């Protein structure tokens, strides 16, 4: 069986570690796990939900809708799924799986020394881009995504938890998670609004969780100690549709752009705080 151990809180996040204590256990996919099967350190359900609610209640340049968020660990296992509404039907139902896909994508295409958000992948995945067709890679595990009791979606009993959701998503809302030692723990995905607002909310959620120690990225190096970060990039030429950097994202609204281009905020939300 799997047992859950909670370590003491540090800053604003507590880390949960699931460790196999029996000789063998079922890993959530119906497959017997080896004795050393481990669910790596992750964000707890309560911490993720609190961080998402706080971020959703701010101005983010979207429609102000209720949101979903999901976290996967470094191996791709879903470890938490939450929502902000009163019930799990107060958000777009389709955004539950999209949030998990974004978490999977941010984790799958980031490295200990280079962070890529899902927003960074948009232009590269378009025809003529350097990663064209990426969105067709790593198909979603539909059995994991839609199995179980729908009434449990977004709860501690969400059917996706403990399973590899897979999926690749190439618009805003997915970010890798790095702890204070620079270790890449997994990915965060947020969905439920326009994609630019999703990114802004995800950025704030990651900040709230104190898991934003980004090592480097493809975004403006002047914003993060001169080595770049994984912020959304608005550099697509409206006339040609071409991103100057190759990692640009379409604009959704003037309000969302104004918020996004000021991330990280060195005064209120410095990265790696």
30 located within any domain: no
222 vs 201: which has the higher pLDDT: 201
Sign of CA pseudo-dihedral 3, 157, 91, 249: positive
Confidence (pLDDT) at 143: 95
Residue 29 forms part of a structural domain: no
Asked whether residue 234 is domain-assigned, the answer is yes
Residue 82 included in any domain: yes
Q: Tell me what pLDDT residue 67 has.
A: 98
How many other C-beta atoms can be found within 10 angstroms of the C-beta atom of residue 27? 18
Instruction: Identify the domain containing residue 156 by its residue range.
Output: 45-260
* For residue 44, pLDDT beyond 60: yes
For residue 106, give the nearest of 196, 175, 195 by alpha carbon: 175
Residue percentage of the chain with pLDDT more than 90: 71
Q: Rounded CA gap, 134 and 142, in Å?
A: 18
Q: How many domains does the chain have?
A: 1
CATH number at residue 192: 3.30.450.150
Query: Does residue 20 lie within any of the structural domains?
Result: no
DSSP letters along 11-71, please?
TTB-EEEEEE-SSSEE-SSS-EEPTT-EEEEEE-HHHHHHHHHHHHTS--SS-----EEEE
At 271, the pLDDT band (50, 70, 90 cuts) reads confident
Give pLDDT, residue 15. 36
Q: Look at residue 215 and tell me if it is in a domain.
A: yes
Distance of alpha carbon 273 from alpha carbon 270, whole angstroms: 6
Predicted model pTM: 0.84
């Amino acid at each position: 069986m799997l047992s859950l151990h909670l370590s003491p809180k540090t800053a604003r996040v507590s880390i949960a570690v699931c460790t196999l204590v029996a000789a063998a256990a079922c890993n959530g996919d119906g497959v017997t796990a080896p004795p050393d099967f481990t669910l790596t350190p992750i964000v707890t359900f309560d911490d993720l939900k609190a961080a998402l609610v706080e971020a959703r209640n701010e101005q983010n340049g979207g429609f102000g809708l209720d949101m979903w968020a999901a976290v996967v660990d470094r191996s791709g296992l879903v470890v938490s799924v939450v929502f902000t509404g009163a019930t799990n039907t107060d958000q777009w139902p389709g955004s539950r799986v999209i949030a998990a896909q974004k978490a999977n994508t941010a984790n799958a295409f980031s490295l200990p020394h280079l962070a890529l958000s899902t927003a960074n992948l948009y232009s590269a995945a378009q025809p003529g881009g350097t990663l064209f067709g990426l969105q067709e890679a790593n198909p979603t595990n539909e059995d994991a995504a839609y199995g179980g009791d729908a009434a449990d979606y977004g709860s501690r009993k969400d059917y996706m938890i403990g399973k590899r959701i897979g999926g690749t998503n190439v618009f805003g809302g997915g970010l890798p998670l790095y702890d204070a030692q620079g270790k890449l723990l997994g990915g965060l995905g947020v969905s439920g609004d326009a994609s630019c607002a999703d990114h802004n909310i995800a950025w704030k959620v990651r900040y709230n969780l104190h898991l934003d120690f980004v090592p480097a990225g493809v975004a403006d190096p002047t914003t993060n100690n001169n080595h770049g970060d994984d912020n959304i990039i608005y550099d697509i030429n409206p006339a040609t549709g071409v991103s100057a950097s190759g990692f640009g994202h379409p604009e959704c609204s003037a309000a969302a752009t104004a918020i996004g281009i000021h991330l990280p905020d060195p005064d209120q939300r410095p990265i790696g705080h």
